[in-house]
Amino acid sequence: MKTKILILIVALVSNYIINQDTVTEKSFLIKNGNIELPGTLTYTKNSNKLIIWVHGSGNVDRNGNQAEYNVEANYIKQFRDEVNKKGIAFFSYDKRTSNPKNAAFLKGIILDDFVSDVKTVVEHFKNENQFKEIILIGHSQGSLIAMLASEKIDKYISLAGTSETIEQAIVKQITNQNADLGKIAANHFNELKETGDIKNINPNLVTAFAKPNLSLIHISEPTRPY
């Protein structure tokens, strides 16, 4: 009986090691014009589905970290590891705003730039023809970005996407942290809608009112698809 148990344990451990060894990792660079999007692809020999991660707001890298703010969450890497266990390939890249090499090309950046990056990544894998199915997972703000870049993919998944207009979601998030700042944020959005600009952005709201976020307001108007 002990011998059978020992054999079973050895077999399970061997199977685990073999499964771990079948995950191939490749790091490479995808370019969208002057923009460099270095990323990591992981897959097994039987992977025929590929998930491409689409970032939410912030200067997020391929693993879900933000070096600028000393954030080491690794949530995308954790997601990648779990997906690979199911035999599904996974690709994520350093968002254009997280790669210092792109700094000279970020002036006047808008939401469509992020959409263009996703389309470029999708086109790369379509041309490679390695996977039969391509799936976009858009996280938070990336939910809308992925939706706008979904023409040539097979499936689209919204992860923590908002059911409200973007400005409503931002005001709600800020209000939950600080009610006074929430009121200021609401006033900023009203000013932007009425005049097309915000003259004096509160120093505590500079990140929330970065141009990529402001460009979402026009997209989220009721007359546009959302």
Domains of the chain by residue range? 24-159, 166-219
* Band (108; pLDDT cuts 50, 70, 90): confident
Q: What pLDDT score was predicted for residue 66?
A: 93
Q: Which of 108, 78, 111 has the alpha carbon at shortest distance from 95? A: 111
Q: Which residues of 122-145 are buried (b: 16+ CB within 10 A; e: fewer)?
A: bebbeeeeebeebbbbbbbbbbbb
Residue of higher predicted confidence among 143 and 173:
143
User: Which tokens hold the place of 149?
Assistant: 């870049």
Q: Which CATH superfamily is 24-159 part of?
A: Alpha/Beta hydrolase fold, catalytic domain (3.40.50.1820)
Residue indicated by tokens 């040539």:
152
pLDDT of 109-138, one tens digit each?
888 999 999 999 999 999 999 999 999 999
Q: What is the mean pLDDT of residues 82-89?
A: 96
